[in-house]
Structure 1
Amino acid sequence: MNTHFVTFSDTVSQAGEPSNQDAALLDAYSTTVVNVAKKVSQSVVQIKVSGRSTPATPAQRRAPNRGDADGGSGSGFIISTDGYIITNNHVVAGATTIMVSLPDSRDYEATLIGRDPATDIAVIKIYADGLKAIRFADSKQVQVGQIAIAVGNPYGFQYSLTAGVVSALGRTLRSESGRLIDDVIQTDASLNPGNSGGPLVNSAGDVIGVNTAVILPAQGICFAVSSNLTALVAGKLIMHGRVRRGYLGIAGQLINLTERIKQYNQLTAKTGVMVASVEPDGVAGNGELLQGDIIVGFNGQPVTSVDDLHLLLTDDTIGRQIPVSILRQNRHKRIVVTPGEIK
């Protein structure tokens, strides 16, 4: 009987030494990160603010103060060659002066184009030549486990890069306005105060998110507003200076629905939004809503929480008559409201 021996390598790697295959993989990863750094380095800027006219929020206080009690710093990135820059709302909110430092050491005073506290996105503009823009990727194509590279200015150190992976998708994050930011990307790419407003990019160097928050007691839990949501909000800020949202003029609270009420009214949802008070201020046409009503549907969509209602009150609903499904004295009823515009 003939015996055949199969060998995988003529030499055996010593303990602690990478094999040729491991070295090749490491080189490929390193090459990717290096190429991304070269591609985006000229598009990421440092933002310094001063003269805040309002007390700093907790998010603003996380930004490092460079010896200025009413100032702070953060990051941003250029999205057009004519000087539009995206950053976080909490980086520039309340500031009277916004200074932008480019990677080539040029400094410019920026103009605030618009900001949206509900998504923590803001757009500023500088007037400069030779700007290099970075482009958005489709965040719907992002997958858990893919490379995520964060670029920013942590603790005021200009241009710093960290790499990790996308840890989770579809997270929600509570904004300073109280609304939920949907479609948030979770990553383990290290973020620190000052990284806020910087881009989270993929292996091609395209933006998949805007770094916006870090859970300080945790290790490696960081969040970014998705590129698709950012592009939508930024477009509205550039065009109109704000993001229009509907307003009902009510105070609502979550309420559990009993099985008896659900069965009697043929409802599947377990919760609704009870109207705690109605503000007849003329902004919204809410005269048909009464205190104690339970909202279970809005414009044909189910409502199970106040957050659901916020999401459904889009700019398309402003000034339109919208059907609302309510429970009044435990019986289903349909009324009509006309949302105003929240200011």
Structure 2
Amino acid sequence: MDELDSYSRTVVSVAETVGPAVAALVVGDPDRPRGSGSAVVVPDPDDPAATVLVTNAHVVAGSRSGRATFADGTHADVRVLGADPLSDLAVLAVHPDARTPTPVVLGDAGALRVGQLVVAVGNPFGLAGSVTAGVVSGLGRSLPTKDGRVVEDVVQTDAALNPGNSGGALADARGLVVGINTAVAGVGLGLAVPVTTTTRGILASLRRDGRVRRGYLGVVGAPAPLPVDVALRLGRPTGLRVAEVISGSPAQQAGLRSGDVIVDADREPVAQAQDLQRRLFAEAIGRTLPVTVLRGDAMVDVLAVPAELTG
């Protein structure tokens, strides 16, 4: 009973801390909305005394404005400052006359461990302020999207997510937001964009420039253990196993194959999707990117030329 009480107190505390800053979001014309989901109030990357809203790029879906309604019933008109399909993140500005709740505190998903308690807060099926709890089921996942793109390094959780949760908050036991819920992959399987140094840079670029120039390779992968001899030689236990190569992508043109394990990109170690993602910002576009993979028992060097993600 004591363990259950402790668990309950933790979830309640997180819900009370994070819940007020999670809004139900409707985008497009209020009379003819184009989409809906959730959004989270976070500190403005350029001015910590101000706030912006973060949601998913697929939630805004090309819309430029919308309305956010908070748990206390207040609402605010919002304007889309920018969206990045590769990270599935978007940043919204709140109308200057509107008041928003206290922003959440962003954590670091890099510290997450499989089995750790997480709490999801969002607005599934329009049910405002809904809270579910679960554990981190996996880390470093890649999520292929319907348009052939890949959202890298997502967090897998069994906290129940349903339509409308997209754009909501995934928090740890301390109430720090470590992810932005992005998709429902199946029964008992939810995914969230992690909050990392890379994510913070993406939000800052969207806030300032309205876009993020990103390179695109087109691989779907997850961390995988390296053979003992290779791990000892490289000094690290894992690489990024390629589960799928997107048809027509730079990765396919370069000769990357399903089953390859990427161990280096641009002469830097790759142990998870985030390591590859860091190599694919604006400076990588159109430049030859050397990629080293373990293919069977052999190390193979592949030369890829990332394309610019458009649209």
2:172 is the counterpart of 1:202: yes
Q: What is residue 211 of structure 2 aligned with on the other side?
A: 242
Secondary structure of 1:186's counterpart equals strand
The structure 2 residue matched to 1:221, chosen from 180, 185, 189, is 189
The structure 2 residue matched to 1:73, chosen from 18, 36, 59, is 36
Deviation at 1:316, TM superposition (A): 2.3
Structure 1: distance between partners of 2:78 and 2:184: 26
The structure 1 residue matched to 2:284, chosen from 301, 304, 317, is 317
Secondary structure of 2:174's counterpart equals coil
Structure 1 runs (4+) greater than 3 angstroms displaced: 275-278, 292-303, 308-313, 321-325, 332-337, 339-343
* Alignment deviations for residues 224-278 of structure 1 (CA, whole Å, 9 cap, x no partner): 1111143232122112211112479xx99xxxxxxxxxxxxxxxxx99x9x9799
**CA distance change for structure 1 residues 119 and 26 in 2, over 3 Å: closer, same or farther?**
same
* Alignment deviations for residues 278-322 of structure 1 (CA, whole Å, 9 cap, x no partner): 9xxxxxxxxxxxxx875899744799xxxx998744212347x64
1:251-290 correspondence to structure 2 within 5 Å: none
**CA distance change for structure 1 residues 177 and 310 in 2, over 3 Å: closer, same or farther?**
farther
Higher fraction of strand: 2
**CA distance change for structure 1 residues 315 and 169 in 2, over 3 Å: closer, same or farther?**
same
2:2 is the counterpart of 1:32: no
Q: What is residue 116 of structure 1 aligned with on the other side?
A: 84
TM-score (norm 2): 0.70
Higher relative contact order (CA 8 A, sep 6+): 2
Q: What is residue 106 of structure 1 aligned with on the other side?
A: 74
Deviation at 1:176, TM superposition (A): 4.6
Structure 2: distance between partners of 1:313 and 1:298: 10
- Indicate the larger mover: 127-136 or 162-171: 127-136
Structure 2: distance between partners of 1:316 and 1:225: 23
Percent identical residues: 40
**CA distance change for structure 1 residues 140 and 312 in 2, over 3 Å: closer, same or farther?**
closer
Deviation at 1:137, TM superposition (A): 1.2
Q: What is residue 288 of structure 1 aligned with on the other side?
A: none
* Alignment deviations for residues 177-229 of structure 1 (CA, whole Å, 9 cap, x no partner): 5332222111111111111100000111111111111124x2x1111111114
Structure 2: distance between partners of 1:224 and 1:169: 10
**CA distance change for structure 1 residues 342 and 174 in 2, over 3 Å: closer, same or farther?**
closer
2:145 is the counterpart of 1:168: no
8 Å contact from structure 2 (residues 86, 152) kept in 1:
no
Deviation at 1:26, TM superposition (A): 1.4
Secondary structure of 1:200's counterpart equals strand
TM-score (norm 1): 0.64
Q: What is residue 95 of structure 1 aligned with on the other side?
A: 63
8 Å contact from structure 1 (residues 118, 181) kept in 2:
yes
Q: What is residue 10 of structure 1 aligned with on the other side?
A: none
Q: What is residue 185 of structure 1 aligned with on the other side?
A: 155
Secondary structure of 1:164's counterpart equals strand
**CA distance change for structure 1 residues 111 and 298 in 2, over 3 Å: closer, same or farther?**
same
Secondary structure of 1:33's counterpart equals helix
The structure with the largest alpha-carbon Rg is 1
Structure 1: distance between partners of 2:278 and 2:21: 32
Deviation at 1:35, TM superposition (A): 1.0
* Alignment deviations for residues 17-60 of structure 1 (CA, whole Å, 9 cap, x no partner): xxxxx3x1111111111111111122111101234xxxxxxxxx
Gaps of at least 5 residues in structure 1 are: 1-21, 52-65, 253-269, 279-291, 326-331
Structure 1: distance between partners of 2:277 and 2:104: 31
The structure 2 residue matched to 1:158, chosen from 118, 128, 146, is 128
**CA distance change for structure 1 residues 335 and 203 in 2, over 3 Å: closer, same or farther?**
closer
Secondary structure of 2:50's counterpart equals coil
Structure 2: distance between partners of 1:34 and 1:293: 50
Note the aligned Cα RMSD (angstroms): 4.0
